[in-house]
Amino acid sequence: MGVLYEIVSTPFAYAERPCLSGDEMFAGAPKRIVFGPGRLQHCVIWEPAEAVHEETVFWFHGGAFLVGTPESMIDAARVWCHEGYRFVSVGFRLVPHDRFPAQADDAYRGVLATQAWLRDRSLPWSRIIVGGSSAGGQLAFLLGYSDKLAKRYGFDRSSVAAVVSCAAIVDADDLELQPIHPLSLWKSFVDLPCRDTKDRAAIHETLLPYSPIALVEGEDGIALPPFFAIQGSSDTLNPYVHQKAFVEALKKQGTEAVLETIDDPRWQHMIGTVTLHRKDPDTFVPLKRLFSWLSDIEAEGRGARQ
């Protein structure tokens, strides 16, 4: 069905009514943690009414780095807090006003600022789950799998207990936006030195440090956090085959990686990224499997530290 289906299905995705509503799963009003002067340079944290898990979840919204706010993740906050997790939606600047990799810079700064905020209040901060939808998922992957960026920002990558993907970008090729002339793309969206902005091969090479699958393939021998992905097999906007290749790359490194595949042809990119957290976490099988898997990861981590 492809691009036409994505366009037609988008308003229906946003019209779907969330299974969870209200605020009974929250301990109180959300709090805002500012880490920069920009309008979107802040995180929003929701505390669960009953904290069950020691990990804090950091989530990065989708929107192709063009649209979105941290406040937009209220549906996800309800689902994760319902499961007993502390949930943080990380804001980041958007293109074209702030070109990539400003978004990656904000991802690290936002997580570090929130970890400091939690630590100052004697709340659990040292073990986190990072996840995201579509382009936001790419930012989560950088936190989980880029040793170079972790060292640049002073981020402890070993604090990442797990990485979660909802149709996230895993390959630099998915950033190239083939219909757009490469020079126009580069000037409008990317702020990185490139040897030839008219050459897609050069663009690809320049983006490799921000390409999750390239990071994983290049981290031989370095411990990588376990991974869980939920994606439709019919997703062509952010190709399912790339998510599958990413899972296989992690497995080759000896890392636990799960791809929860939704074979419904209607479950393409926008349906998946918009409606995942509008499903009932008690009955929707992919979410049930995700939370069961995370509980096992938490138990294994606790046992290893004892």
- What Rg do the C-alpha atoms of the chain give, in angstroms? 18
The position carrying tokens 């994760």 is 80
d(CA 267, CA 302): 35
Q: Which of 171, 82, 80 is nearest to 130 (CA)?
A: 80
Torsion, Cα of 55, 227, 35, 191 (10° steps): 170
Q: Are 46 and 86 in contact (CB under 8 A)?
A: yes
pLDDT of residue 186: 66
CB 165 within 8 A of CB 137: yes
Assess if residue 91 is contained within a domain.
yes
How far is 39 from 36, CA to CA, in rounded Å? 8
Q: Tell me 272's DSSP state.
A: H
Peptide bond into 96 cis (omega under 30): yes
**Structural domain of residue 161, as residue ranges?**
2-171+211-295
Number of C-beta neighbours around residue 173 at 10 A: 16
Q: Are 302 and 278 in contact (CB under 8 A)?
A: no
- Read off the amino acid at residue 115: Q
In a domain, residue 289? The reply is yes
* Residue 302 lies inside a defined structural domain of this protein: no
Note whether residue 146 is domain-resident: yes
Q: Assess if residue 300 is contained within a domain.
A: no
pLDDT given at position 12: 67
| pLDDT tens, N- to C-terminus, the chain (306 residues) | 566 666 777 776 788 899 999 999 999 999 999 999 999 999 999 999 999 999 999 999 998 899 999 999 999 999 999 999 999 999 999 988 999 899 999 999 999 999 999 999 999 999 999 999 999 999 999 999 999 999 999 999 999 999 999 999 998 777 655 544 555 666 778 888 877 777 778 888 888 899 999 999 876 657 899 999 999 998 888 889 999 999 999 999 999 999 999 998 888 888 888 899 999 999 999 999 999 999 999 988 754 544
Contacts of 178 (CB under 8 A, 6+ apart): none
Cβ contact 272:262 at 8 Å:
yes
pLDDT of residue 30: 97
Query: How far is the C-alpha of 179 from the C-alpha of 88, rounded, in Å?
Result: 35
Closest by CA position to 147, among listed 194, 50, 215, 72:
215
Question: Which residue in the block uniquely carries the two structure tokens 């957290």?
Answer: 277
**200 inside domain:** no
- Assigned domain for 188 exists: no
**CA end-to-end span of the chain, whole Å?**
51
Q: What is the pLDDT of residue 306?
A: 44
Tokens coding 182 = 């490469």
Q: Tell me, yes or no, whether 181 lies in a domain.
A: no
Q: Return d(Cα 13, Cα 4) in angstroms, integer.
A: 14
| CATH number of the domain within which 110 lies | 3.40.50.1820
The answer for residues whose C-beta is within 8 angstroms of residue 205's C-beta and 6 or more apart is 195
Nearest to 75 by CA among 150, 134, 19: 19
Cβ-in-10-Å burial (0-12, 13-18, 19+) of 160 comes to: buried
Q: How many domains does the chain have?
A: 1
What local confidence, expressed as pLDDT, does residue 179 receive?
A: 46
pTM: 0.93
Distance, CA of 99 to CA of 179 (rounded, Å): 19
